[in-house]
């Protein structure tokens, strides 16, 4: 098997897959990220050899030496995207090329080898094709795909590893937030920050999410669904949520989101929302929004809606904001018209129910 921009995947079917009856039972209520398909993708990398040994094989534990570099120096990145069933029985993905590009950018930031985008996308196709029966048919159902890569070299020492393992696993999922689409309440963290200028905020690496967990626990203790981080320098400006980008909708129809300055993950859903909002006639701005302005504009009525967006939750309205000194509502705590219109348009495009003028949807078969 040769390295390069294209690899031939060896297919090793699982000899003991989940039975059709058991699979159907699991798909009745899969939740999010708790049920997994029968197969996984593995591709290896070594300095001087490149990418090799591409396989689709039975999902199984990963043999790992306790001195594997990732366990000590956290060289790890990942992506998340979904596959959807269409009305004609086909399967589509939403912007996998964008995920491939972001995966490459994350790899560069973490001093890891870049997986060719063609291999990234092909690996998704191969896994979907063999595990297509795991894709839920319900309205909120999809197959969540998790490509990831980590330093697998066995060594102790602070330097980029010489060996890596790229993998893809898949999980049939329902809605990210239980109970359907309803406004969530967010907690503005007074003490914790997610990322600083010059750090890894724009990379999709596990360390960013690990750093958010204490703040997320604080949010849950305060009775909130998610945490909102302020910038690490002035502690004034809104960055993003623990796992989602954030948008503000004003009374003149302007849609605003914080700019990508290196501390915010360049969300693929975020980019799509910007495009859709502009096409719908909204003035779209990427500019800083301070927490003080957020609070003042909500009180005056100038700010009408706030929503979060990401692959898992798509577009989710934010109805309430809490912080150590108080709380306030946005738009009376109800889902906003612009928020729900953008969500529906995006969902319809993803599932092949609406026109796709931007060519975002890729058909798998």
**What are the catalytic residues?**
204
Distance (Å, whole) CA 240 – CA 202: 11
Tokens of 39: 């197969």
Q: Indicate the helix (H) or strand (E) that contains 277.
A: helix 268-279
Instruction: List the structure tokens of 346.
Output: 């995006």
**By three-state DSSP, how is residue 281 classified?**
coil
Cα 145 to Cα 84, 135, 220, 332, distances in angstroms: 11, 11, 27, 36
Are the beta carbons of 242 and 201 closer than 8 angstroms?
no
Which residues, including other chains, have CB under 8 Å from residue 258's CB and lie 6 or more apart? 237, 238, 239, 240, 245, 246, 264, 286, 287, 288, 289
CA distance readout (Å), 285 to 112, 270, 275, 324, 335: 33, 12, 11, 29, 21
**What one-character-per-residue DSSP string does 98-161 give?**
HHHHHHHHHHHHTT-PPPPHHHHHHHHHHHHHHTGGGS--STT-EEEEEEEEEE--B--SSS--
């Amino acid at each position: 098997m040769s390295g390069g921009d294209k690899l031939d995947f060896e297919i090793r079917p699982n000899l003991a897959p989940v039975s059709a009856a058991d699979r159907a039972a699991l798909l009745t209520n899969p939740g999010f990220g708790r049920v997994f398909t029968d197969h996984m993708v593995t591709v290896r990398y070594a300095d001087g050899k490149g990418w090799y040994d591409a396989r689709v094989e039975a999902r199984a534990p990963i043999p790992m030496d306790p001195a594997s570099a990732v366990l000590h120096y956290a060289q790890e990145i990942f992506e998340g995207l979904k596959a959807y069933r269409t009305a004609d029985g086909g399967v589509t993905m939403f912007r996998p090329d964008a995920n491939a590009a972001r995966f490459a950018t994350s790899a560069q930031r973490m001093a890891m080898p870049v997986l060719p985008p063609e291999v990234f996308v092909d690996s998704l196709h191969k896994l979907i094709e063999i595990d297509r029966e795991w894709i839920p048919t319900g309205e909120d159902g999809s197959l969540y795909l998790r490509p990831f890569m980590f330093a697998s070299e066995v060594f102790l020492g602070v330097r980029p590893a010489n060996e890596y393992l790229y993998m893809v696993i898949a999980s049939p999922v329902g809605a990210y937030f239980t109970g359907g689409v309803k406004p969530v309440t967010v907690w503005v963290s007074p003490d914790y920050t997610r990322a600083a200028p010059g750090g890894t905020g724009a990379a999709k690496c596990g360390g960013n999410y690990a750093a958010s967990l204490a703040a997320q626990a604080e949010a849950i203790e305060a009775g909130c669904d998610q945490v909102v981080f302020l910038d690490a320098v002035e502690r004034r400006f809104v960055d993003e949520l623990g796992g989602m980008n954030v948008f503000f909708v004003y009374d003149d129809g302007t849609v605003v989101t914080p700019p990508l300055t290196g501390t915010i993950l360049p969300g693929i859903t975020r980019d799509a929302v910007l495009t859709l909002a502009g096409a719908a006639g909204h003035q779209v701005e990427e500019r800083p929004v301070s927490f003080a302005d957020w609070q003042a504009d909500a009180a005056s009525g100038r700010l009408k809606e706030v929503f979060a967006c990401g692959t898992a939750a798509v577009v989710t309205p934010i109805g309430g904001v809490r912080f150590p000194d108080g709380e306030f509502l946005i738009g009376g705590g109800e889902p906003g018209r612009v928020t729900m219109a953008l969500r529906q348009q995006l969902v319809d495009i993803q599932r092949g129910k609406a026109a796709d003028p931007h060519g975002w949807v890729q058909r798998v078969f």
